[in-house]
Amino acid sequence: MALKTLTYEVFGRVQGVCFRHYTCSKAKELGLVGYVRNTSSGTVEGVAQGEESQIIKFSQWLKTEGSPSCRIERCNQQFQETDKYDYDTFQQRK
């Protein structure tokens, strides 16, 4: 099983539209661990870890779907291979 870490930052109208809530739900649905949080610059950022196939699905979801009321302009992403999980669950951070 190939494990991957995805670091991401989503730009657009992503704060105040339940983006973190939907991101957390999607990550848990896919069996990922990590976190999502708002930034002071109006973006949403986070880290997700899990099986490569699930990380790819999550990556695509972040770029194209998000929450129903959001407007995603772009999503910067960086992938890394990992051999262990750094988190126990996926959670929203403040």
Write down the pLDDT at residue 2. 87
Say if residues 69 and 21 touch (Cβ distance below 8 Å): no
**Which portions of the chain are predicted below pLDDT 50?**
none
Catalytic residue among 38, 71, 74, 76: 38
Write down the pLDDT at residue 94. 83
Distance, CA of 37 to CA of 2 (rounded, Å): 26
Our answer to whether residue 38 is catalytic in this structure is yes
Catalytic residue among 13, 20, 71, 74: 20
**Which tokens is 92 given?**
């929203």
Say what the pTM is. Answer: 0.95
